[in-house]
Amino acid sequence: MADAPLLPCPPLDAAIIVGRTVDLERLDVDRHGPGLWAAIGSRNDLWTWIPSGPFADEPAFRAWLTDRGQKPTQTLYAVIDKTGPRGPMAAALYMVLNVNTDMGVCEVGLTLGEAVTRRAGGTEAFRLLAGCVFSRGYRRLEWRCSPENVASSRAAARFGFTLEGTLRQTYWLKGGNWDTEVHAMLDHQWPAIAARLDAWLAPENFDPDGGQRRPLSAF
């Protein structure tokens, strides 16, 4: 029998999680809203397979951020790209959803802007957030997406999640039935996954222009 976990887990409320190319900052709509609107809110194509959005304008996007930020079982982080030519700016949004501190289970959601898509920043942002989750004793981290959201499904596999199955007709959204793929990562799997991500994220794995020398699949 496995050792009993220390439950309940503490809340996921870190004000800032510091990385090399990106930081994760607890969402402040006034401070992060304009950058997030420019990076993701104004891009209708990013919201096709996300239950929320697209948004009519920046006030509607900010209202959505404000509403999400007030939910007691959710924590929102702005991903701050520190490598851009104009200095640090909000480039993506991470949401920790359905946080069940009693059972040590939560779900992560992500919307990336172009500044960190297919770059080290997107992977590092996940590494930082997952590291925070598991360091606080959480037992299970979930990633849910529509099967039609191929990019999201591939990202889950790339990060090290295991596809557990597909729940059928879980939602009626945007004029149709939505199925839900459930991917999960467990606490005992995290050390090996973290080591693999750290090896890929090491500065020596990138050339002066930021290109990877070896793909994550090579680790």
**213: how many CB neighbours lie within 10 A of its CB?**
11
Q: How many helices (H) and strands (E) does the chain have?
A: 5, 8
Tens of pLDDT, residue by residue, the chain (219 residues): 678 899 999 999 999 999 999 999 999 999 999 999 999 999 999 999 999 999 999 999 999 999 999 999 999 999 999 987 766 889 999 999 999 999 999 999 988 888 788 789 999 999 999 999 999 999 999 999 999 999 999 999 999 999 999 999 999 999 999 999 999 999 999 999 999 999 999 999 999 888 899 999 999
Q: What structural domains does the chain harbor?
A: 16-202 (3.40.630.30)
Contact 179, 146 (CB under 8 A): yes
Can you give the pLDDT at residue 1?
Answer: 64
Cβ pair 205, 199 in contact under 8 A: yes
Amino acid at 61: F
Q: How many residues does the chain have?
A: 219
How wide is the angle at C-alpha 18 spanned by C-alphas 51 and 139, nearest 5°?
60
